[in-house]
Amino acid sequence: MMLTIKEVAQRLNLPIETVQRWIRQGKIPMQSMRGEYTIRSEMLERWAMDHKLNVHAPAVMATPVESGFDGILPAMQRGGVYYEVSGKSREAVLRSAVECIPNIEPSDHDLVYDTLLEREQLASTGIGHGIALPHPRTNPGLSLSLAQITTCFLGQAVGFEAIDGRPVSVLMVLLSRNTKQHVTMLSRLSYHLRNSTFRELLLSHPAQAEILNAIKDMES
């Protein structure tokens, strides 16, 4: 997700003027695109972590009922957890991950794969720390009534052009029925992934029950 100056100021809980000054001073890596400064949310979180700043969740997190999103725990339960997912390239592991996704028709596998690959070609979903969050840019037209997160532990870490250059060994594939639901789910999951203890747990490829219990504790 690309963030504007206003959104960055909101996430950092700072005046817009401060962010604008930092841009002029070259302190924050925002880039000018069509006359507007933007930064990827993943890169902002990485930069904030390096500078010991807190990144606050967007306001949409406070309205999960309106988005129809019922929480990370049920979304992960619906999506399932899979181990030793094969592939030696980003494209190959995405293909293998799609084959694992439940609650979609086999005839939709190619559609989901194409939309995930399109999103990766726009900008990597590798958020750093060996974790990636593949997701379509828009709803590919699936008949999902509820959002889901499919967690895939790779049999072999692969390059993902992540923001920190680290190979990815954990994929969490996000699918939802609409944009509002997707934004809420991505924001809340990103918030949990800022917890270093939870990230280290994921990188150990733990049992499904252990992951879900950790999410349950954080959501409570």
Is residue 35 predicted with pLDDT exceeding 90? no
Place 69 in a pLDDT band, splitting at 50, 70 and 90.
Answer: confident
Q: Give the pLDDT confidence score for residue 166 in this predicted structure.
A: 94
Mean pLDDT of the chain: 88
> Percent helix, strand and coil across the chain, each rounded to 5?
50, 20, 35
* Domain range 62-219, its CATH number among 3.40.50.720, 3.30.1310.10, 3.40.50.12160, 3.40.930.10: 3.40.930.10
CATH topology of domain 2-56: Multidrug-efflux Transporter Regulator; Chain: A; Domain 2 (1.10.1660)
Average pLDDT estimate for 30-41? 83
Task: Write out the H or E segment, with its range, that includes residue 12.
Answer: helix 5-12
Q: Give the predicted TM-score (pTM) of the model.
A: 0.70
Average pLDDT estimate for 6-24? 85
C-beta atoms surrounding 155 within 10 Å: 16
Tokens (6 digits) for 194? 């800022």
**Which of 135, 146, 120 lies closest to 187, judged by CA?**
135
Alpha carbons within 13 A on the beta-carbon side of 16: 6
Place 66 in a pLDDT band, splitting at 50, 70 and 90.
Answer: very low
Q: Give the pLDDT confidence score for residue 212 in this predicted structure.
A: 95
Q: Give the pLDDT confidence score for residue 21 in this predicted structure.
A: 84
Q: Give the pLDDT confidence score for residue 181 in this predicted structure.
A: 86
Cβ-proximal residues to 194 (8 Å cutoff; 6+ apart), any chain:
45, 49, 55
Per-residue DSSP letters for 93-154? Answer: HHHHHHHH--SS-GGGHHHHHHHHHHHHHHS--EEETTEE----SS--S---SS-EEEEEEE
Parse the chain into domains and list their residue ranges: 2-56, 62-219
Rounded Cα–Cα distance for residues 100 and 116 (Å): 14
The more confidently predicted of residues 86 and 219 is 86
- What are the tens digits of pLDDT across the range 111-163? 999 999 999 998 899 999 999 999 987 777 787 878 999 999 999 999 999 98
Place 20 in a pLDDT band, splitting at 50, 70 and 90.
Answer: confident
Is residue 62 predicted with pLDDT exceeding 50? no
- Between 33-47, 62-76, 185-199, the lowest mean confidence (pLDDT) is in 62-76
Question: Residue 132 — left, alpha, or beta (φ > 0 → left; ψ -120 to 50 → alpha)?
Answer: beta
Rounded Cα–Cα distance for residues 80 and 151 (Å): 6
As a whole number of Å, the end-to-end CA separation of the chain is 26
Cβ-proximal residues to 169 (8 Å cutoff; 6+ apart), any chain:
130, 131, 153, 154, 156, 157, 203, 205
Burial of 187 (0-12, 13-18, 19+ CB in 10 A): middle
Give CA separation, 21 vs 5, 42, 159, 189, in Å. 11, 21, 35, 30
